[in-house]
Amino acid sequence: MKPSYEVDMRLDVEVPMRDGVNLSADIYLPRASGKFPTMLMRTPYSNNDAGSVEKARSFANSGYVCVVQDTRGRWDSDGEHYPFTHDGEDGYDTQEWIGRQEWSSGKIGMAGGSYVALVQWQSAPHRSEHLTCMVPRAICPDFFSGLIYPGGALQLNVALSWGMRTNARTAQSIDYHNWTEVFSTLPVVDMAEKAGRDLGFWRDWIKHSTYDDYWKAIDVEGKWGEIAAPAFNMGGWFDLYAKETFVNYNGLRKEGRTPEARQSKLIVGPWPHALSKSRKTGDIDFGADSHVDLDTMEMRWFDYWLKGEQNGILDEPPLRLFIMGANQWRDEHEWPLARTDWQKWHLHSGGSANSVFGNGQLGLTEPGDEPADRYVYDPRFPVQTMGGANCCSPGIVPWGPYDQRSVEARSDVLVYTTDTLQEDMEVTGPIKLVLYAETDGPDTDWTAKLVDVSPSGYAMNLTDGILRARYRESRTDPTLLTPNKVYRYEIDVGVTGNLFRKGHSIRIEVTSSNFPRFDRNLNTGHVPGMDTEMRTAGQTVHHTREYPSHLVLPVVPKV
C-alpha cells in the first residue's frame, strides 16, 4: 500500500529568473524527511485557485513535492504578461532552481492542460537536466498554424476571448460584452480596443499574419530533437488542438533526443478542450466508458519515470483512441494507422448542391463532365459557427457536436452526401478535402466540415477546417488570386475517429465562412485585419474529369 503523507505548505516563494524578475510559487511538501521528486505546474490562471490547490495537495499526499507557479506578470508573479514569449526561459530557470533545493531529488515532472501544457513544451528544448517527463494536455506545438492562424485564417473566437480574459494581472470578466457586436468590429486590429481592452499582443498577432520570425521563435515543431523528456499527451476529438496533439506525439516519438523521449504516449477521447469532465460533449452522450480518470493515468506515468515504479505503463500500446459511433476504446501503435485504406470520395452534383435540399452527392466514382456548383459569399452575413473544436468560452460559441441542419439549410453552403451506408464504415485519421474552385476576387476563404448523418436526419459535425486562399501555397509568402481562375486547394479538415453506422450517411459541407470561430475574409485582398471594406464573392466549385474535387477519407478495414 502506498504511503499517504501529510502536507506542509510554503506560499508565495520567490523564484528568481535570469533577468531579475521574481515569479511566485506555492510549494506543497510531503511532511517527511528526505528528498522527493517534484511536480511542476506553471499557470497564468492563479496558483491559488481551487483546482490547482487540490491537485498540488494530491501530489504531495502521494510523495511528490508540488510547485505551482504563477507565470510572468500574472497574479503574484512580477514582470509583464505577454503570451508565449518568456515561458521557455522562465520554465528552464524554475527547473534549475528546483534542482538546487534541499527537498529535491533532482527529477521533475510537469503537468497541466492548455496554457499549463504550453509551458511544458516551451521549456523542454532548453535542456534542463532535471526535467524528466511531462503530461501535456490539449495544446499545440506551433502557435501560428495550431492556434492563431490555422489555414491562414484568424481563429477569432479563441484568440480574442482568451486574450481578453487573461490580459491583466488577474482574471477579467468578459461575460457582459455584446459578442455579436464585438466580433463584427472592423478593422479586426481594433476589435479588442472597441471591447474595452488594450491588448498589445492582439495588435501584434494581427500585424504578424504570416509565419515569420515572431512565430518561429516560439514554435516547438523544429525542436523535437532537443527534447529528452518523454510526454504522455492527452487530447480530445472536439478540442481545437485535436490534430496538434497527434503532431506532438509523432514529433517526440520519432525525433526525440533520447530513447526515453521516443517512448511517449497519447490518449484521445470524444472530448472538448477541458477533456474528460463528462460523458456528454455538446449534444451527444458518448457513454459511461468515454469518461475516464486521466489523473490516475497521469500518476502512473509520473510514478514510473520519477519514482522508478515498474507499473507496466510502457508495456501497453502507446496510443489509446476512443472510436465514436462504436463508443469504444481501442489501442493502436502508430498514427496514422498503418492499415488505413485511403479512399477518394468524389464530389458530384447536377449543379445545385446548394443546401441540404440540393442535389450534391459524395461517391467513389470519378466525376464526368458535371456542371459546377455556385454560390455567393457575403461577409456581411457569414455562416455561423455551430459547435465544433472551439474554445474557451462555451457561452459565446458552443463546443462539440451539434445538429448542423440549420447551417445546411443555407443556399451559400454546398452539401455533398453519400448514399445510405449498407454496412458500418470506420473513418479514423486525418481528413483532407481537395477542392478545385474559383472566385471572382483576389482572395477568399474555403471551409469544409465532415458530418455523420443519422437515419433521423440529425447531422453531427465531426471535424472541420479552413483555408485562406492567399495561403494556398505558402504560409510565409502569401499570393493573391487571379479572379475567375481555377485553383487546386488542399483543405486540412482535421482528425477524427468515428464509426459511420449502417443506415447513416457521410457528408461534407463546403462554404466560405465559419464565424466567429474564424474571422471573415472580406474578399478584397487587402492586408488581413486592417481592412473595413467588404465585397461579396461569387464562388464556383468544380467536379469534372479535369477538376475532380474529392474528399480523402482514412477508412479503417474491418478486422
CATH code at position 349: 2.60.120.260
When pLDDT is averaged across residues 531-552 and rounded to a whole number, the result is 98
Which whole-number Å values give the CA distances from 61 to 8, 29, 36, 130, in the listed order?
A: 10, 8, 12, 22
Q: Is the pLDDT of residue 394 over 80?
A: no
What's the pLDDT score for residue 417? 98
Considering the domain architecture, whether residues 303 and 355 belong to the same structural domain is answered as no
Distance (Å, whole) CA 414 – CA 377: 11
Q: Which residues contact 484 (CB under 8 A, 6 or more apart)?
A: 438, 439, 440
Q: Is the pLDDT of residue 186 over 90?
A: yes
Considering the domain architecture, whether residues 281 and 319 belong to the same structural domain is answered as yes
Considering the domain architecture, whether residues 172 and 201 belong to the same structural domain is answered as yes
Helix (H, G, I), strand (E, B) or coil at 165: helix
What's the pLDDT score for residue 156? 97
pLDDT per position as a tens digit, 19-49? 999 999 999 999 999 999 999 999 999 999 9
What's the pLDDT score for residue 103? 98
What's the pLDDT score for residue 224? 97
When pLDDT is averaged across residues 538-545 and rounded to a whole number, the result is 98
pLDDT per position as a tens digit, 213-244? 999 999 999 999 999 999 999 999 999 999 99
Q: Name the catalytic one among 114, 128, 161, 549.
A: 114
Q: Is the pLDDT of residue 294 over 80?
A: yes
What's the pLDDT score for residue 395? 75
What's the pLDDT score for residue 167? 87
Considering the domain architecture, whether residues 416 and 487 belong to the same structural domain is answered as yes
Q: Report residue 401's pLDDT band, with 50, 70 and 90 as the boundaries.
A: very high
Distance (Å, whole) CA 70 – CA 60: 19
Domain end point (choices 280, 300, 332): 332
19 is catalytic: no
355 is catalytic: no
Q: Name the catalytic one among 87, 239, 303, 445.
A: 239
- DSSP state letters, 353-409: -BSTTS--EEESSPP-SPPPEEEEE-TTSPPBP-SBS--S-TTTS--B--B-HHHHT
Distance (Å, whole) CA 393 – CA 401: 16
Q: How many domains does the chain have?
A: 3
Q: What is the domain extent for residue 552?
A: 341-556
Considering the domain architecture, whether residues 109 and 181 belong to the same structural domain is answered as no
Considering the domain architecture, whether residues 169 and 92 belong to the same structural domain is answered as no
pLDDT per position as a tens digit, 265-289? 999 999 999 999 999 999 999 999 9
Q: Name the catalytic one among 81, 177, 273, 504.
A: 273
Considering the domain architecture, whether residues 397 and 519 belong to the same structural domain is answered as yes
The whole-model pTM stands at: 0.97
Considering the domain architecture, whether residues 478 and 376 belong to the same structural domain is answered as yes
The cell for 423 is 454496412
When pLDDT is averaged across residues 445-461 and rounded to a whole number, the result is 98
Side chain identity at 204, as an amino acid letter?
D
Helix (H, G, I), strand (E, B) or coil at 282: coil
What's the pLDDT score for residue 359? 98
When pLDDT is averaged across residues 501-520 and rounded to a whole number, the result is 98
- Rg of the chain's alpha carbons, rounded to an integer? 24
What's the pLDDT score for residue 548? 98
| CATH, residue 124 | 3.40.50.1820
273 is catalytic: yes
pLDDT per position as a tens digit, 78-90? 999 999 999 999 9
Which whole-number Å values give the CA distances from 4 to 9, 59, 105, 167, in the listed order?
A: 16, 10, 18, 39
pLDDT per position as a tens digit, 472-496? 999 999 999 999 999 999 999 999 9
